Structure 1
Amino acid sequence: MSGPRVHVITTGGTIASRPGPDGTVSVAVPGGDLVDMAGPQVTVEEAMLVHSFNLTLGQVLLIAGRVCAAARDPEVDGIVVTHGTDTMEETAYLVDLVLGPDRTVVFTGAQRHAAEPDGDGPRNIADALRVAAHAGPGLGAVVVMAGRLHAARHATKVHTTSPEAFDSPGHGPIGHVYGSQVHLAARPVRPDGFDLAELGTLDARVDIVPAYVGADGVHVAALRAAGARGLVVEALGAGNPTPGLLREIRTCVAAGIPVLVTSRCRQGPAMPVYGSGGGATLAEAGAVFAGSLTAPKARLLLAAALAAHHEPDRALSRLRPHLAL
């Protein structure tokens, strides 16, 4: 009897990299060479061979399109995407936004390149194949690294070199892989997302603005002048701006540019708590708080909503269910 049929989409990253003569590491391993054909029935599709720090939004949309096409194939039981770890959380989150409610897609990668004697890539691929084959439908996009499953909404790269590179700060993993067994502790809550066709080329410019001591808002003014259609503020603490940022954000909101507020803290939601120029004042000015979303994911969510709805009010209405988690 044949086992579950898993389709693997490869995109490059450290998992597909080897060192060159100059000592630097570059993508070099074709998709078909990455996957051990033992276990579930596996088909392999090489979407691209790039480092994830070089990805464009167009390429991320291409990956999402390949995933959605595989998800529509009745012959495919599970989907795995191999991906560089630098921006894996962003691609996984965008895929989660466009993936149907009854599907699971597993993202995995490696922190050690393919020529390392103790490389983590083969184990991560084996774990991802097990999750794709046996975890069941409806998880959406998940990241599987170092034997842990993280929901795309919360998965964040937290270490530059450790094999245990991903965590879900404030939430924890939703499951683990122990040998050949997949154990789920929870299933993600996934609000209705978007049809991929709604996003077009995802060309609505949305920028991230960091907050720091003395930030005067000049970067906000520059982004507004550059044509930003939306902004995400990575604010201080629970969601507090500096006086200069507050002044410029007020100008943005008055000009019809929606502003989402996240926190630069790794744990805890952004909430409008403090007055006197703090987060509560920011909310009064019309900024919208993004809950536990990180700034890169809030950027993708706002860009998707603005692509689907040109009017800022409709875009904000569309994305609000994703901010309440």
Structure 2
Amino acid sequence: MLTLGGTIAMTPGTESGAVVPKLAAADLLRAIPELAEVNVDLTTHDFRRLPSPDIGFGVMAELATVIEREIAAGADGIVVTQGTDTIEETSYFLDRTIGGDTPIVMTGAMRHPTQASPDGPANLLSAIRVAADPNARGLGCVVVMSDEIHAARYVRKSHSTSTNAFTSPNAAPIGHIVENEFVLLSRPRPCPPLPRGTRTTSIGMVHAALGDDGSWLRPFAEHTDGLVIAGFGGGHVPSRLVPLLHELADAKPVVLASRTGSGPVLRRTYGYPGSEQDLLSRGLINAGFLDPFKARVLLHVLVAAGAGREEITRAFQDSGEIQVS
């Protein structure tokens, strides 16, 4: 069990009573008397105490290295606790960069420990149950919240405060905790792990918006090594942006995703200037079912490892759930 901080580990730490990450793994486990009923030999590592917005790719690369070391030393499962704000991205990073069958289970909390009915202890207990279950082997990284198990590639934080904040819009939970047991409903298609490169990398993300003239896009893009464009609907932008996006796609990888939150980027339905067919013909890369945030994580991993355009395109084809014939 590795802890990174987040709401699950927060207690009041300011004069106003606002909470900050202060609790260690031992503190979190003391809140779970039912843990004695789970047959696990649990070791802990207080890795960081951060609010989740402060977690970056450097922290995640270090965490992945520690996880691989623990697995090599014989760990049968890994549990990671962190803040929920970025867990949909961090889980996908681990899912795509750590191979093998050992379960990696991430969890957190929507209510901090000093609130009424905090959800952290139940979430952590469920995460430990999943990590210890042989049925979780080969699932990659999963997120466990509110007795639901979500695959990292699908999970989204869909509400800012609800304890039922986590959903899998393009699929469904792949499992549940029922009567203290892990019930597996489906297995995601496996994706091979990608190398974690060491290149300093900056990947930008831009959302299409009504009436956007793109005047700010060029100076922004100049400071990036790649871009994710979150387009309207099935992958569309205002026609006035097309020449600049074409130019940028000639210079660096530009990935086209959908800002809608679910559904794929299309390939051949619309043909007007700024449509998905037009943009893909100009060199933009189709994100498929990957949402913009996960597309940015994948593009970061690929660029940091020095992947070329063909390798990046192929990785998105393999990862976006739509197989190109």
d(CA) in 2 for partners of 1:304, 1:55? 16
CA-CA distance at 1:310 after TM superposition: 4.6
* 8 Å Cα contact 1:83-1:108 kept in structure 2: yes
User: Could you say what secondary structure the match of 1:317 adopts?
Assistant: helix
1:224-251 alpha-carbon deviations (Å, 9 max, x no partner): 322x121100000000011233221111
| Partner in structure 1 of residue 301 of structure 2 | 304
| Segment drifting more, 177-186 vs 212-221 | 212-221
* 8 Å Cα contact 1:305-1:319 kept in structure 2: no
| Partner in structure 2 of residue 19 of structure 1 | 12
| Partner in structure 1 of residue 195 of structure 2 | 195
Superposed CA RMSD in Å reads 1.5
d(CA) in 1 for partners of 2:313, 2:297? 13
Q: Which runs of 4+ in 1 moved over 6 A?
A: none
| Partner in structure 1 of residue 173 of structure 2 | 173
| Segment drifting more, 286-295 vs 63-72 | 63-72
CA-CA distance at 1:223 after TM superposition: 2.4
- CA 1:144–1:159: 2 relative to 1, 3 Å: same
| Partner in structure 1 of residue 234 of structure 2 | 238
User: Could you say what secondary structure the match of 1:63 adopts?
Assistant: helix
1:84-113 alpha-carbon deviations (Å, 9 max, x no partner): 000011110000001213121000000000
d(CA) in 1 for partners of 2:147, 2:210? 39
How many residues align? The count is 312
- CA 1:55–1:239: 2 relative to 1, 3 Å: same
1:265-301 alpha-carbon deviations (Å, 9 max, x no partner): 1221111331111111111111111011111110111
1:139-166 alpha-carbon deviations (Å, 9 max, x no partner): 1000000000000000000011111111
Instruction: Report the AA paired with residue 190 of structure 1.
Output: P
Instruction: Report the AA paired with residue 277 of structure 2.
Output: A
User: Could you say what secondary structure the match of 1:194 adopts?
Assistant: coil
User: Could you say what secondary structure the match of 2:85 adopts?
Assistant: coil
CA-CA distance at 1:52 after TM superposition: 0.3
| Partner in structure 2 of residue 126 of structure 1 | 125
Give aligned-pair identity as a percent.
34
* 8 Å Cα contact 1:174-1:185 kept in structure 2: yes
| Partner in structure 2 of residue 4 of structure 1 | none
| Segment drifting more, 126-135 vs 315-324 | 315-324
d(CA) in 2 for partners of 1:93, 1:318? 14
d(CA) in 2 for partners of 1:124, 1:314? 38
d(CA) in 2 for partners of 1:319, 1:70? 29
Instruction: Report the AA paired with residue 78 of structure 1.
Output: G
Instruction: Report the AA paired with residue 256 of structure 2.
Output: V
- CA 1:231–1:23: 2 relative to 1, 3 Å: same
* 8 Å Cα contact 1:95-1:141 kept in structure 2: yes
Aligned pairs for 1:146-295 within 5 A: 146-196=146-196, 199-200=197-198, 203-226=200-223, 228-255=224-251, 257-272=252-267, 273-277=269-273, 278-295=275-292
Q: Which runs of 5+ in 1 are unaligned?
A: 1-7
Instruction: Report the AA paired with residue 229 of structure 1.
Output: D
